[in-house]
A and B are shown apart, each in its own frame.
Chain A
Amino acid sequence: MADLEKFRSETRAWLEQNCPPEMRKPMTSDGDTFWGGRNAKFSSEPQRVWFERMRDKGWTVPHWPKEYGGGGLDGEEAKILRQEMAAIGARQPLTSFGISMLGPALLKYGTEAQKKEHLPKITAGLIRWCQGYSEPNAGSDLASLQTRAESDGDDFIINGQKIWTSYANYADWIFCLVRTDPVAKKHDGISFILFDMTSKGVSTKPILLISGYSPFCETFFDNVRVPQSHVVGTINRGWDVAKYLLQHERAMISGMGERGVGRPLGQIAADSIGADAQGRLDDAVLRSQIASFEVDEAALAAAAERAVDLAKAGQAHPAFSSAMKYYGTELNKRRYEILMSAGGIDALEWESERSRGGARPRAWLRTKANSIEGGTSEVMLGIVAKRILDLPGA
């Protein structure tokens, strides 16, 4: 305990000294997120400084082992760091699918050579990854995927198409699900493989979203040659790796949304709607919606904290991240419905300077994907019913 208190005070002092004031303000646009990668550019000098200081401390990924560029913190220490960062509103110095998705899967299933090759480039923000799971005919029913990988000496030759590949056009490498055994049962012929997006035969085509942004792509593979040594885990057992990764992805998505930071929603609403003589939001029905939202939001924050503590104590159900993913994403959609209502006609402007290019309606529309990406809400409920409640035939 004494050690942890010491760690807390040292961490607090270090953050105080090293986190630039600009990096303690809530993010307002996509550019505020630093993703790393070969073509990465910093959107500001404080962003660069903050990233480099955290990287040098190993704190871009505080809980990974030091040998792979992580901070080597244990669960308690990592929690303290999160709390202290949250206390000053410090931004994440680096965000990436390498951290939240591929890394955990590599740590569990990767060979030592694969870990040494890829993890340090993730923590240092050198390589940006994308996720090649979904296909036009394999969405919720992911295991029916058809992208083929055929053996050719020590290599695989990959042909097929992925869709909804987030940031495929910016990514350096892809972790990809491919069918390596076309006759086996659908779950038993899939492999999890890594390759460079600059490989010959890889091409991407951005898709425009309802938010007007285009953060994801169709991704095509035309005779892409990849060494078989790039398979993570066992050939044809990629489904295990894929599922394990999804647990982490879902935990990450459930944490999206600016929970509990910044001004209370009710005050944001009062800015545009006004307050009555007693200082209460001058829209009684919206006020009550916001109040129940904030009850649920605080409860979810407690549940997220508890989920981490349960995992640390070895008491967590492996499918619990699906429960959190369901609730967290539905809640984030509720937040943005409230924000749109609170903003009224001001929240409808799409292009003006005043509306920062329609930031709010675009963010609102983006949240609608939360309950689709990483597995839909219905699929999450199905997983809870089957794996946690053990209901029949689910």
Chain B
Amino acid sequence: MALILNEEQSMLRDSARGLISDKAPVSHLRQLRDSKDETGFSRELWNTFAEMGFSGLLVSEQFGGSGLGAVEAGIVMEEIGRTLMPSPFLATSVLAASALSRGGSEAQKSQHLPRIADGSLLAALAVDEGAKHRPLQTRMQAIRSGNGFKLNGDKALVVDGHTAGLLIVAARTAGSAGEKNGVTLFLVDPKAKGIARERTIMVDSHNAARIVFDSVEVNADSVLGEVDQGYPLLESVLNVGRGAVASEMVGLSEEVFGRTVAYLKERKQFGKPIGEFQALQHRAAQLYIDIEITRAAVLKALQALDADLANAGSAVAVAKARAGTTATLAVQEGVQMHGGMGMTDQFDIGFFMKRARVCQELFGDSNFHADQLARAKGY
């Protein structure tokens, strides 16, 4: 398969770009932040996403979606990254749709997937517990109780956790932190008794929540996949999410870079455009090269996810690690090369820096993924 977008994929990119750049430029995020919007995203725009078929991109046609893959999800995420649009797309259409499609029973699928596709259901994946992404360290307890389970524990950085109508929660039914065996995924109603949700306003003005589970009762039907054997499913879903976030970072990096190069041509000091100074030219060229190489690595990972999900781990680790370091460099150079202007809130560049920091942490930062690669290679 060629490592470029095919015709349909290019068309998808164009239509996503058209919609997002028109309806949700960076000023859209700024407006949501400044108005302290309760939900942190635009419901109206989400409905448009559904009408255009984006919300059901990964949902099979049988359940009202378009049955596309990680490459297509990445295309939409990249466009989201260009304008930093806050959107349920990642949590609902990528993570939850993948989890349900891959792990769900027929009943679970037919209950939830059509509502994801039509935009009426928002969902969230609750995995992280500590300061860093360590899915294997999942400690949250799910103890058998009657015909079901009782959940106890805390989750953090649950993307869209406060707006979701459905939570997918990773908990331990057996084993201890560090073991793959014993992890189980549950579908949980966020209104269930014992759940406390706190929306956490984050540095990037995107949505996240901390959720406390205090003896939350769920029945046996709420298990997604198999009891004790949820880790491989979780890992696959996370990998699709990592590919998606890596794509978002490619879009973000490229946008920051484009704005910075434009500024280098426009801003004059010492009687000439600052883009004439070789000290800046070489750094700009290095950043361009980094972004191009990262773009290739990310597309490679997305294609690997579609071709053979179970064996895409190393390609995804490479992509997420690269995307993290590239985005970090892009936003730092972006601010630096804008001089004093780059430090102002009035200027958009800072929004990119903030979002890049969050994307780094989401589903494992560059260090985590480089370490994963090293483990996979046996050293």
Contacts and interface: CB of A to CB of B under 8 A. Distances in A.
Interface of A: 264, 266-267, 269-270, 275, 279-281, 287-288, 290-292, 294-296, 298-300, 302-303, 305-306, 309-310, 312-313, 315, 320, 323, 326-327, 378, 380-382, 384-385, 388-394
Contacts of A279: 378-379
A270 B275 contact: no
Contact of A288 (B275, B292, B370): B370
Interface of B: 2-4, 261, 264-265, 272-273, 275-276, 278, 281-282, 284-286, 288-289, 292-297, 299-300, 314-315, 317-319, 321-322, 325, 366-367, 369-371, 373-375, 377-379
Given A292-B370, A294-B373, A389 B285 contact: yes
B292 A391 contact: no
Interface SS of B by simple majority? helix
Interface SS of A by simple majority? helix
B293 A393 contact: no
Given A296-B293, A299-B293, A391-B261, 16 more contacts: A279-B378, A280-B374, A281-B379, A292-B370, A295-B322, A302-B297, A306-B4, A309-B3, A320-B292, A326-B286, A327-B289, A327-B293, A391-B276, A392-B275, A392-B276, A394-B278
Contact of A315 (B4, B300, B317): B4
Given A302-B299, A389-B261, A264 B281 contact: no
Nearest to A298: B318
Contact of A264 (B282, B315, B370, B379): B379
B289 A291 contact: no
Nearest to B379: A266
B183 to A, nearest CB: 21
Nearest to A275: B379
Given A290-B379, A313-B2, A382 B282 contact: yes
Given A305-B296, A323-B292, A384-B289, A394 B281 contact: yes
Contacts, number: 144
B3 A305 contact: yes
B113 to A, nearest CB: 31
A90 B284 CA distance: 38
A297 B106 CA distance: 42
Nearest to A394: B281
Given A306-B3, A306-B299, A299 B322 contact: yes
B369 A391 contact: no
A392 B265 contact: yes
Nearest to B321: A295
A388 B296 contact: no
B300 A302 contact: yes
Contact of B284 (A275, A298, A300, A391): A391
A139 B29 CA distance: 51
Contacts of A294: 370, 373-374, 377
Contacts of A300: 293
Given A295-B322, A391-B284, A394-B276, A302 B261 contact: no
A298 B322 CA distance: 10
B292 A303 contact: yes
B307 to A, nearest CB: 14
A320 B297 CA distance: 17
Nearest to A327: B289
Nearest to A383: B285
Contact of A290 (B264, B286, B374): B374
A303 B281 CA distance: 22
Contacts of B315: 298
A43 B282 CA distance: 43
Contact of B296 (A275, A287, A306, A390): A306
Contacts of A266: 374, 377-379
A341 to B, nearest CB: 14
